[in-house]
Amino acid sequence: MKRAAVLLGAVFGLGAIFYASLFAFGEMCTEIVVLRTFDADGAPHETRVMVIDIADTPWVRGRPYRGWFRRLEANSNAEFYRGGVWHPIRAWISRDSSDAAQFERVVVERYGLTYRLFDFIARMSSNEIPVRLEPRSP
């Protein structure tokens, strides 16, 4: 009986840590934007993503099975909403490991232990591919 109580306490404790890290990371991360991608019929789809500026260029990262990622693979023209303005962009998907390492380095520098805890629990960076968002004419 005592073992079951300890196990139950550990499960609830880990759950509390997970949700606390979600809250802390969400509160610290002010770089959430709305990414608008377009499907084959031209219909828009909006997704909230974290954008990180690296050398004045916005980057996002995602997993290839996500709908927004698949739409960017098919049509690199997209938009993102930041600071009250829609920015037309062309997305460049990078499978270069140095880009992934640079993205990770910048996120760790900005969010530190909170990001590391969240990433450890949620495996956020596992198998994610960076995408550079370059400005384009409307």
pLDDT digits (tens, 9 = 90+) for 9-48: 666 666 565 555 555 545 445 588 999 999 999 999 999 9
Helices within 29-125 (DSSP H only): 67-74, 97-122
pLDDT at 107 over 90: no
pLDDT at 103 over 90: no
CATH topology for 2-135 is Pnp Oxidase; Chain A (2.30.110)
20 against 84, higher pLDDT: 84
pLDDT of residue 11: 60
Give φ, ψ of 31 to 5 degrees: -105, 35
Contact assessment for residue 69 and residue 35, using Cβ atoms and an 8 Å cutoff: no
7 against 104, higher pLDDT: 104
User: Against a cut of 0.75, is the pTM above it?
Assistant: no
User: 100: phi > 0 → left, psi -120 to 50 → alpha, else beta; which?
Assistant: alpha
R_g over Cα of the chain: 18
Q: What DSSP character marks residue 125?
A: S
